Structure 1
Amino acid sequence: MTEATEAKLPPQVKNALIALVVGGIAAILDSTMVTLAIHTLVVKLHSTADTIQWVTTGFLLAMAVAIPVTGWAERRWGGKRVWMAALVLFVLASVLCAVAWNDASLIGFRVLQGLGAGLIFPLMQTLAVRAAGGHVSSRLMAAVSLPIALGPILGPVVGGVILNWLSWRWLFLINVPVIAAGLLLARRFLPADRPGSSAGRGRLDWIGLVLLAPALTGILLGLSQLSEDGGIGHAGVLVPLLAGVVLLAAFIAWASRPGEREPIVDVRLLRVRSLGSASAVLFTAGAAMYAGMFLLPLYYQQLRGDSVLDAGLLMIPQGVGALASRFVIGKLVDRFGARAVTIAGFLLAAVATVPFALAGPGTSLWWLGAVLLVRGLGIGAVLIPPMSIAYQDVQPAGIPHATMSTRIVQQVGASFGTAIVAVVLQSLLGHGATGAFRGAFWWAIGIAAAAVIPAIALPADKPTSHRPAAKPVHNDETASSRMAGAEKQPNGQWR
């Protein structure tokens, strides 16, 4: 594919991307904003930190349960209808969160929010690829991954502004106008994709769901509590973590069995080099990205004494860097290949984190802002190339499974990276806050540097070099019928 072809997306694909980004941004921002409000919620709801922590933990675990259902739901009802239903569920849960009267009600409503978000996140990628007719480019992935990359960066800023001047309830009410706009755009611009009579509606793999959902829940729950007293040997960590690993192994064995029944997530696709290598990189990318995002606001607030609002504003340079990388990443991948760009992004992020490992309470904010800008460029560059590569050798029918796989590994990787640096920070705090943060940042640097290892396995060529450009899906031609036609081709490509 030429650079000129790569530089432009058809108007209908651009419109679909706008609808997806607007609809998904609320869920992504909300997942990061609420983390800042833990102390506020403890005070306002007369609760404890241990209890209120379930506002974020419950959201995370509900997401883990919902993600595996996405592919089946899309086949059963069509991606557009499931997308709009997920947005409705999310915004209704947001309103309920805003009127919560105590900690228990807020936690319950956040679980509902998490179920909606668990459908929204993987559907963003799946529907973007569907709208583009199965043609995956770095520009397409840059657009659809923009909220995912910027959410953890802009979330603290928006959350800080709300908590500084408004009630905590506006953390949830702000979702209402955004989701309303997303629903209107989705209704108008997302291509119709109701499953046809010949496509089949399939049965839900209940055994796979019963194995995978609690497996992910156990792993994420164990990792989220790893920084508690007792560490890895604590029953609250070890029991759910081991149970999750055992259930995950059982699910892999079940899903790998030959047969006609379609598993809820087809792990056999991970044998495809493009998806397998990209999934490994996305795991480490999630770990590297969220390890830093966990430490940076705490550094400003706890070590330097900045307010929540100031800490959020000080994170803006990283957001600017991540946004700027979106404008050049496509050309860089075209010129140097996905492998080289991904490795360079991880190394840049690691190097730009070193000043924080050497910083103290009095380090210049101008200097830290400059390195945050560079770190944003690196972090912004590590998601798009592997996401583009992931679909390279996957046939159209496997797109939802590929999307769920990449989303699951990102989620687990994010929890893993956060847990590691949280444990290090907690264990070193007894020796002084400055030394504790320095040690934790060195671990974050090590995670980013270690991420280079799986990146070496990425294909070196362009993400689009093996798949010819396909005609985008229009409203008068359903994705299901296009997919059915594509599966009849001997080479597995779109007609």
Structure 2
Amino acid sequence: MADVGGDDRMDPALLRLIGVTLLGGIMGILDSTMVTVAADTLAGEFNSSLGAVSWASTGYLLALTVTIPVTGWAVGRFGVKKLWLFGLVLFLAGSLASALAWNIGSLVVFRVVQGAGAGVVDPLVLVILARAAGPGRAGRVMGMMGVVLSLGPVLGPVLGGVVLESLGWRAMFAVNMPIGIVALVLALRVIPARPAGARTSGARLDVVGVLLMAPGFAATVLALTQAGEHAEFATPAVLVPLAAGLALLAAYVVHALRARRTEPLIDVRLFAGRSFAASVTVQGLVGLATYAGLFALPLYYQVIHGHGARAAGLLVAPLGLGAALAMPLAGRLSDTLGARGLVQGGAALTAAATVVLARLGTGSGEVWSAPAALAVGLGLGAVGAPTMGSLYRTLPPEKVPQGSSVLYNLNQLGGALGVACVALILAASGAGGAAGGGIGAFHDAYWFVFAVALVILAVSPLLPGRPRTPAGSPGREPRPAQQGALTE
């Protein structure tokens, strides 16, 4: 899978692997947001409340969150290819069943199955690409992955609305079938049974760790989701799961540090490494800022400018487009320049663009807000791809599955926290809702994103500098003992 002759071109086999992997991974990323536009339709179809319908999305998210940590262990136990095929089949089974749902209860259950499949596939995308790229191409390949991560949340509601209006709500789930079948057939041929750097392991599952970490993450995400939906923090629906989630995660840390006979699900000692801790923290902050912007911008267009849901969704596209444009270039540059400077430049651009958004008036047209949103996306893209590249460039090969689980879970937590914070800010500034607060409420939300960009700037000096490993040698996996010498 390495580049031939050390030149700057990618091996066609690596390109095929990237394409097949992203084809399988994009379904889960799109489905995480696509169904949100069908809430009213589903409530009418099943004669149910919007609160009950919301569990079709919440159940999906919780199942995904619970499954991700176990996937990190299962990679070593069963191998990437078997696990990838299992995840795709599980996701497709959940998609088909969701399309055939007969009431809201059955839909929620089938969405949980679908979310579990996505919890297997989504982190495996990172594992497969990181192993195939090697340290010399980590930033470039993660940049390609970043295009899907950036456009997925933006395109999901847009595509969902088009499919819903054209073909009905059942087609929103059934559309996964042809894509998934093609991805499954291609995966059988393209994904290697034992990629470079992969090691099978007979380690037993850390059952205690699963019982602590999986519900801990799920309860925390549920609390943040509830805070975002109700625009209120001081309520039992938020505080009870939040307290339970944090207590379970704290108990997991104690368990992992004391574990002797069984390897912990996630080795918390990884956080003692400066590069790892900084990389996953920055990536979590990127998720926070991205989802905060994706939540605030459509409401801004609807409340301040009176646009409909579809127009508001399309006007948010520049944010995702900016990130999709920046990530491949920033990832490519990070393989030679390192992450630190690129992240600092991206965070500075994000901060400057949010200042523009925070100074918009009620008479400011889209000619100002759309370019500012594009600049926010460009900035966050310049942060995201180099950060992921730096993580995989310095992580020991045997820790790649665990690192991917941590990275993906923190990104999910960051996204849920971003939505919750903006919802709370809009509610507080609006004294009863964003509509009541007018433009000032949205200014406060944009200043929040500005503050997140400043935090990224503050953390960025902890990221690795210029790589010492030649970028032309992507196929060489460094030995764990060499990891500390990879960066300046």
TM norm structure 1: 0.89
C-alpha deviation, 1:217, in angstroms: 1.1
Question: Does 2:331 align with 1:326?
Answer: no
Residues 435, 6 of structure 1: CA spacing in aligned structure 2 closer, same or farther, 3 A cutoff?
farther
> Could you give the per-residue CA deviations for residues 319-371 of structure 1, whole angstroms, max 9, x where no partner exists?
33222213421454356531111122122123223333333554322332222
Residues 8, 466 of structure 1: CA spacing in aligned structure 2 closer, same or farther, 3 A cutoff?
closer
Q: Which residue of 1 aligns with 2:450?
A: 445
Q: Which residue of 1 aligns with 2:462?
A: 457
Q: Which residue of 1 aligns with 2:33?
A: 32
Q: Which residue of 1 aligns with 2:159?
A: 158
- Indicate if the aligned counterparts of 2:233 and 2:424 stay in contact, CA closer than 8 A: no
Q: Which residue of 1 aligns with 2:81?
A: 80
Segment drifting more, 123-132 vs 441-450: 441-450
Residues 389, 133 of structure 1: CA spacing in aligned structure 2 closer, same or farther, 3 A cutoff?
closer
SS in 1 for 2:466: coil
Unaligned runs of 5+ in 2: none
C-alpha deviation, 1:47, in angstroms: 1.8
Residues 6, 254 of structure 1: CA spacing in aligned structure 2 closer, same or farther, 3 A cutoff?
farther
Count of residues in Structure 1 that have an aligned counterpart in Structure 2: 476
> Could you give the per-residue CA deviations for residues 61-115 of structure 1, whole angstroms, max 9, x where no partner exists?
1111100111221122211111111111111111111222222221111111111
Counterpart code for 1:57:
T
Q: Which residue of 1 aligns with 2:252?
A: 251
Counterpart code for 1:323:
A
Structure 2: how far apart are the matches of 1:278 and 1:118? 21
Counterpart code for 2:426:
L
C-alpha deviation, 1:300, in angstroms: 2.2
> Could you give the per-residue CA deviations for residues 400-446 of structure 1, whole angstroms, max 9, x where no partner exists?
11111111111111111111111111223334333322322222222
C-alpha deviation, 1:250, in angstroms: 0.9
Residues 442, 38 of structure 1: CA spacing in aligned structure 2 closer, same or farther, 3 A cutoff?
farther
Residues 152, 192 of structure 1: CA spacing in aligned structure 2 closer, same or farther, 3 A cutoff?
same
- Indicate if the aligned counterparts of 2:318 and 2:374 stay in contact, CA closer than 8 A: yes
Structure 2: how far apart are the matches of 1:386 and 1:247? 28
CA RMSD of aligned residues (A): 2.7
Residues 223, 207 of structure 1: CA spacing in aligned structure 2 closer, same or farther, 3 A cutoff?
same
Unaligned runs of 5+ in 1: 473-482
- Indicate if the aligned counterparts of 2:285 and 2:414 stay in contact, CA closer than 8 A: yes
Aligned positions of 1:381-420 closer than 5 A: 381-420=382-421
> Could you give the per-residue CA deviations for residues 17-64 of structure 1, whole angstroms, max 9, x where no partner exists?
111101111110111212222233223332222222212211111111
C-alpha deviation, 1:229, in angstroms: 5.6
C-alpha deviation, 1:136, in angstroms: 4.6
Segment drifting more, 373-382 vs 349-358: 349-358
- Indicate if the aligned counterparts of 1:347 and 1:448 stay in contact, CA closer than 8 A: yes
- Indicate if the aligned counterparts of 2:334 and 2:389 stay in contact, CA closer than 8 A: no
Counterpart code for 1:266:
D
Counterpart code for 1:110:
R
Q: Which residue of 1 aligns with 2:359?
A: 358
- Indicate if the aligned counterparts of 2:143 and 2:329 stay in contact, CA closer than 8 A: no
Q: Which residue of 1 aligns with 2:475?
A: 471
Aligned positions of 1:211-230 closer than 5 A: 211-227=212-228
SS in 2 for 1:305: coil
> Could you give the per-residue CA deviations for residues 295-323 of structure 1, whole angstroms, max 9, x where no partner exists?
12222234323222222222332333222
Structure 1: how far apart are the matches of 2:171 and 2:77? 35
Aligned positions of 1:125-274 closer than 5 A: 125-133=126-134, 136-193=137-194, 199-227=200-228, 231-257=232-258, 259-274=260-275
Counterpart code for 2:462:
A
Q: Where is the helix percentage greater, Structure 1 or Structure 2?
A: 2
Segment drifting more, 317-326 vs 15-24: 317-326
SS in 1 for 2:393: coil
Q: Which residue of 2 aligns with 1:423?
A: 424
SS in 2 for 1:169: helix
